[in-house]
Structures are given as structure tokens and as C-alpha cells.
Structure 1
Amino acid sequence: MSYSYFALLSRMKYINRWALMRNAREENLSEHCLEVAILTHALCVIGNKKWNKNLSVEKAVLRALYHDAAEILTGDMPTPVKYRKEELKTAYKKVEKEAEERLLSTLPSYLTEEFGKVFFPENYETLAYENKLIKAADKLSALIKCEEELRAGNQEFSTAAMSTRKKVEEMAEELPELKCFIEDFLPEYGKTLDELTEE
């Protein structure tokens, strides 16, 4: 018998984000999840090293890598639609949970429990701070994308950039790791490769 879980995950590269907007460069779900995992790793390590927190880096990074995997089955619902009304947000969360359960059902039984921990961690409450950092990394990834589009001359992203920056700055007020990243690393994203690599 064969199983479709990993073949389904490989389809993340076919799901484009920001579908309601004209993009100078399209971004797919696979790229986004990798970037969120990288940013989550950075935020968790910053927290552990600068503020002696005991964040579960590996678990957070793994959850970040899979954080939008349900979209393989649901597609990417635009943020303005998803969060417009509480009823929609609640309904989408239910659909998302069902999609994650459906994904898990495509694994053999000997893998279901281990992969299930990624989607539905047993100690979810104790991971609350890590979950905030994953959300912060997700928003940070969106901001990086918006500003990249603006630098490419695409004014389609001007409103999204403003609202996303505002949200990221609000999140940074309670997440020192995010504030640190914004100050120490975010400005470099606007530079050319030559500028980034010059000594």
C-alpha cells in the first residue's frame, strides 16, 4: 500500500500566495513556509541567547515549517477575508483543522502519532510563547514580501505594507525577540547582493 502525505506536501509549490494582488514576483506556499521556519528559528534563538528564555527551538521551527500545510487542501484564503468577521475566522479555523486531520490520515499508522504532534501538539498551552513567535515570523515574512514588492515598483502592495508593518510593530511591543530582529536584521533586506556581501 502507498501513502499520499509527502506527495501532497510537495504540492505546496503550486499554491501561490497573495492571489488577489498583482505581484512583481509570485511567492508560493513552499517558499513562505521555509521563510517562516527560518525566521522562527531566529526569533527563538534570539530569545534564548539574549534573554535566557527556555524556548523549544526545534519544536517551534518544525511547527513553523508546517504552519500553512492545510492550504494544500484549502487553498490560500486572503487575510482581509479570513479575518474580516469573527464567524469567518472561526469557520476557517474549523476547515483548517479538518484539512490537517485529512493530511494526517494520508500517513501510515506508524507515523501518524509523531506527525500529529506537529499539527496538534500535546502541550499546546506550554508552547504559547513559541506560538506567538511563529505568528510573528509569519507576519514578518508578509512584511518582507510587501516591502520587496514596493522596492520593485509595485504600488499594489502599499496598503498591505502599511497595515502589516503596523501589526508587526504592535507585536514587537510584547515580543522583544521580534523588536531585536526588526532593529538588527530587517534593514538589510533592502540591500543589493553586492551591498550585503561587501567587506
Structure 2
Amino acid sequence: MKSHFFAYISRLRFISRWALMRNTAPENVQEHSHETAVLAHALAVIRNERFGGHVDAGAAAVAALYHDAPEILTGDLPTPIKYFNPAIKTAYQEVESAAEQKLLDLLPPELQGVYAPILRQSDPELHALVKAADKLSAYIKCVEELKAGNGEFRDAAVQTRAALEAMAMPEMDYFLETFMDSFSLTLDELK
């Protein structure tokens, strides 16, 4: 059986993010997925090493790598539209679920059992970490756009920071306190 699964996954690089906003640095879903994986891994490590957690940091990274895979088929629906009202949110979740199943169906049967829990994010602890990392990635994008002089991201930065703080996740608070300020610095200032 020939499979197109990984050819589809590789096309994440063609899906642009932040479509409703003017960007100084365009971002695609593949880049975002990588950053989200790095951040999910970091949040898991912080949870384990600083707050006594027992989450598989590697599994968090893998879940984050695939967290937007359905967007290969659906595109990236902007957040204000996706969460505009409960009916749209529910309908979009159904579309994402169908896209996840379509991707799983592309895999040979012997691999589907491995990828199903990754694409469906069936572990609640991993799902929460990936959601947090996804939101953190969005905040980093806002900070970087503001650093580049793009005021278009001002409100999004304020709202996203508030959402991160409202998560009441000690590992997120630790990340924001320990690492976040560095994202506002220039390369020379990082020395």
C-alpha cells in the first residue's frame, strides 16, 4: 500500500498563519508546529523538574508537532472566527475531527494505532500542555511583531498574555518569568 500521509504532513509549510493580520515576518504552520513542540517539551520538563510532575516530555513534543496537522485539509481558521460563537466552534471541531480521520486513513493499517492518539491528542495532560504551548507560541509571535514595530499585534499580545496568566499553570508562570523577557531583546542584547 502506498501512503500519502507524510507528503501531506510536509505541506504544512504552505499554510500561512495570522491571515487577518499584517505580519513583518510571515509564519507558516510547519514553523509554528516546531516552535510549539519545543515549548511543549520545555513546559513538560519544567513541570517535571521544578514542580514534581511525571509527564513524558518527548510525547508532549510529538503531540505538539502534529497538533495542527488537520489544517493541511482545513487551512488555518483565524482564532476570532473559530471561537466567534458556540455553533461555529462546534462545527469547526467536527471538521477538524473529520480531517484527523482522513489523515489517519492515509496511513497503512499497522501504523494507524500509533498515530491515532497523537493526532487526536487523547491524553488530557498532554493535550493541556500542547494547548498551553500553542498559546505561548502565539504570544511569542506577538512579542516579536511588536519588537519589529508592528502595532497590529498590540491587542493580541495583551489578550494572549492575560490568557497565559489565567491558565494558572506553575510551569507557564515559570517560563514567563524565566524566559519570556529574552524574546524582546535584539541579537546583540542576548549576548
TM-score normalized with structure 2 length: 0.96
Aligned residue pairs, count: 191
C-alpha RMSD of matched pairs (Å): 1.2
Q: Does 1:22 align with 2:22?
A: yes
**Aligned position for 2:127:** 131
1:77-156 matched pairs, under 5 angstroms? 77-120=77-120, 124=122, 127-156=123-152
Following TM superposition, by how much is the alpha carbon of 1:117 offset from its aligned partner in structure 2, in angstroms? 2.3
**Aligned position for 2:186:** 192
Q: Does 1:177 align with 2:171?
A: yes
Question: Which amino acid is the alignment partner of residue 48 of structure 1?
Answer: N
Between stretches 162-171 and 89-98, larger displacement belongs to: 162-171
Structure 2 unpaired stretches of 5+: none
Paired residue secondary structure (1:105): helix
* Contact 2:44-2:57 at 8 Å conserved across structures: yes
Aligned structure 1 segments of 4 or more residues deviating by more than 6 angstroms: none
Identical amino acids, percent of aligned pairs:
49
* Contact 2:63-2:126 at 8 Å conserved across structures: no
Following TM superposition, by how much is the alpha carbon of 1:161 offset from its aligned partner in structure 2, in angstroms? 1.2
Question: Which amino acid is the alignment partner of residue 147 of structure 1?
Answer: V
Q: Distance in 1 between matches of 2:47 and 2:165?
A: 17
Q: Does 1:168 align with 2:190?
A: no
* Contact 2:36-2:64 at 8 Å conserved across structures: yes
1:49-60 matched pairs, under 5 angstroms? 49-60=49-60
Q: Distance in 2 between matches of 1:190 and 1:162?
A: 14
